[in-house]
Amino acid sequence: MHPADAMRADRNHSAQGSGGGPVAARSRDEAALHGRVVAHTRALLAQGGHWLGISPPEAQIRFDLRGRAAGQARFSPRGPWVVRYNPVLLGANAEDFLAATVPHEVAHLVAYARHGARIRPHGPQWRAIMQFFGVAPERCHRYDLSGVRGRALQEFDYHCNCRGHRLSSIRHNRVLAGGSYICRRCATALRPGLHPGGGGHLRPDEEVLSANERK
């Protein structure tokens, strides 16, 4: 065997003997971290359900969220419940992600299972569950996003009978396609334009309910 071939063979043998090298090690670390998140999500879901005397449906747990959001809870009376986590932010903030982001998303599921869709996403019901979990009820994470690419959504002015709202371009396009949204406070449909009385703008995820969710 040529000396160069022997050196290459030695390097290959060494890499295989150490478990596949750094790439394989990162893959194992990532899988282990995802396993911790899955276990913690399920444990908190069970704890929150036991505390409130309910049995929340088992949620699908995915690591496919991109952009600036750390997590997302999705629930539907007719479809599967899903928790999506951002693998990039998880990898860069593992311990804080487990301590804060996972309870944040699970609290949404537990609150919805107990109180239904009419509650505010970060209202008192959600905050009470966060406090039961022993976590500060903060709406937004504080992770470094300097290396994360995100897409800014345009917002459009709408109003109901009691105040002004701003809908994201996604919701605005749904309205143009025939959908509608209702104010959680006065239960009237949102209409395009500023409120005649100059009511302040509110974030859509806080005070707007899809007409379909109301049924």
Which residues are marked as active site?
105
Q: Which two tokens stand for residue 62?
A: 């995915």
Tally of CB atoms within 10 A around 127: 17
Give the separation between CA 99 and CA 172, rounded to whole angstroms.
35
Give the separation between CA 22 and CA 35, rounded to whole angstroms.
20
110 touches 52 (CB < 8 A) = yes
Q: Which two tokens stand for residue 81?
A: 């419940």
Give the separation between CA 91 and CA 124, rounded to whole angstroms.
30
